[in-house]
């Protein structure tokens, strides 16, 4: 019908990402104001504000059971939050900051000898323990987006090299390389 049910207001800067909870009527928004907010879609009300990042939140997503949300920020951290309480549960990544970092999406530099090169891989982390579990490689330029499928069995990546890749989440092996775009792929879903 095109009817607007609710307009959510509360962030003090632009909203740059959002995610629907797969198991409830919650919507999460991430903002340039360094916060994420949880909203009840049926009531049209703010449920919680997730405070803890020191820079803009550029990505967020609920887990498949809907009880956790993960946020990624320009402060070089990725955090896991409890949806019920709005409290931070774990910091998965604390990236070192340095003066050599360049590029909007480049959170980490890999140093080979004295040459710094952009991160062309995806780092996988255990959301409960915060430990690193795997590195997915294969792209020739920066990885710009990553997502799991709904079953958690596959991981898709999008890259500035113009390709997308699909990995088996269990084996961590690339099972498909998708090519055909003439320029970078910035989002994958």
- Tell me which of 19-28, 107-116, 131-140 is least confident: 107-116
Mean pLDDT across 171-175: 96
The pLDDT value recorded for residue 93 is 65
- With a pLDDT cut of 90, the percent of the chain lying above it is 53
Q: How confident is the model at residue 14 (pLDDT cuts 50, 70, 90)?
A: very high
Kindly state the tokens that stand for 99. 């003066």
The three-class DSSP label of residue 175 is strand
Query: Hey, where are the domains in the chain?
Result: 1-97, 106-188
Confidence category of residue 115, pLDDT binned at 50, 70, 90: very low
pLDDT digits (tens, 9 = 90+) for 88-103: 887 776 554 443 333 3
| Beta carbons of 148 and 154 less than 8 angstroms apart | yes
Contacts of 167 (CB under 8 A, 6+ apart): 122, 136, 154, 155, 156, 157, 173, 174, 175
State how far the Cα of 166 lies from the Cα of 122, in Å rounded to an integer: 12
The fold for domain 1-97 equals Neuraminidase (2.120.10)
**Model confidence over 128-170: pLDDT tens digits?**
777 888 999 999 998 888 888 888 899 999 999 999 999 999 9
Question: 3-state DSSP call for residue 184?
Answer: coil
């Amino acid at each position: 019908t095109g009817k607007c049910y609710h307009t959510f207001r509360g962030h003090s800067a632009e909203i740059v990402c959002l995610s629907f909870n797969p198991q409830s009527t919650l919507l999460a928004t991430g903002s340039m104001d360094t916060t994420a907010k949880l909203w009840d879609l049926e009531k049209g009300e703010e449920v919680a504000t997730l405070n803890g990042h020191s820079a803009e939140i550029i990505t967020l997503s609920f887990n498949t059971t809907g009880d956790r949300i993960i946020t990624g920020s320009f402060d070089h951290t990725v955090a896991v939050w409890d949806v019920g309480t709005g409290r931070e549960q774990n910091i998965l990544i604390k990236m070192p900051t340095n003066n050599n970092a360049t590029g909007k999406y480049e959170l980490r530099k890999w140093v080979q000898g004295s040459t710094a090169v952009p991160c062309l891989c995806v780092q996988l982390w255990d959301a409960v323990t915060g430990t690193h579990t795997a590195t997915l490689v294969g792209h020739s330029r920066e990885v710009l987006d990553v997502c799991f499928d709904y079953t958690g069995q596959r991981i898709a990546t999008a890259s500035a090299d113009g390709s997308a890749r699909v990995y088996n989440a269990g084996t961590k092996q690339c099972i498909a390389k998708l090519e055909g775009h003439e320029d970078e792929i910035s989002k994958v879903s």
